[in-house]
């Protein structure tokens, strides 16, 4: 898994993730999310367009991020889900709980 993150001028933090997210890399992903939420941004976008696979530990990390966002009053938007990741969220019935945008740009503008 490769990640990068950037602060946008609108108070939005963007995390770009590439590669598979499984139990071996989920702790690193969790730490990255936690550090971003500590910045008290008005929104956090996780661009998953480069993630072809995510196991249950990755989904659990996203759920934890959603919980942090609710506690902080921060918007939390997932962007660019590939078919496998989108299907996993739908199977687990979590797609209704997450705010999902088709692209990073759409996610950022939705936080506006």
d(CA 60, CA 106): 24
| Sequence ranges of the domains in the chain | 2-111
Report the 10 Å Cβ neighbour count for 85.
21
d(CA 88, CA 11): 30
Global pTM value: 0.93
pLDDT score, position 20: 96
- Return the CATH fold of 2-111: Transcription Regulator spoIIAA (3.30.750)
Helix, strand, or coil here: 60? Answer: helix
pLDDT score, position 9: 65
Q: Per the structure block, which two tokens stand in for 108?
A: 């950022």
Task: Express each pLDDT in 19-43 by its tens digit.
Answer: 999 999 999 999 999 999 988 889 9
Q: Per the structure block, which two tokens stand in for 8?
A: 């946008």
Task: Express each pLDDT in 91-111 by its tens digit.
Answer: 999 999 999 999 999 999 999
């Amino acid at each position: 898994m490769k990640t990068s993150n950037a602060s946008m001028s609108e108070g939005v933090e963007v995390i770009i993730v590439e590669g598979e997210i499984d139990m071996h890399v989920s702790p690193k992903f969790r730490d990255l999310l936690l550090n971003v939420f500590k910045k008290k941004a008005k929104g956090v976008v996780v661009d998953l367009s480069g993630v072809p696979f995510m196991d249950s530990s990755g989904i659990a990390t996203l759920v934890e991020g959603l919980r942090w966002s609710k506690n902080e009053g921060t918007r939390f938007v997932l962007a660019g889900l590939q078919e496998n990741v989108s299907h996993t969220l739908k199977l687990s019935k979590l797609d209704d709980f997450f705010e999902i945008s088709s692209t990073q740009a759409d996610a950022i503008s939705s936080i506006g």
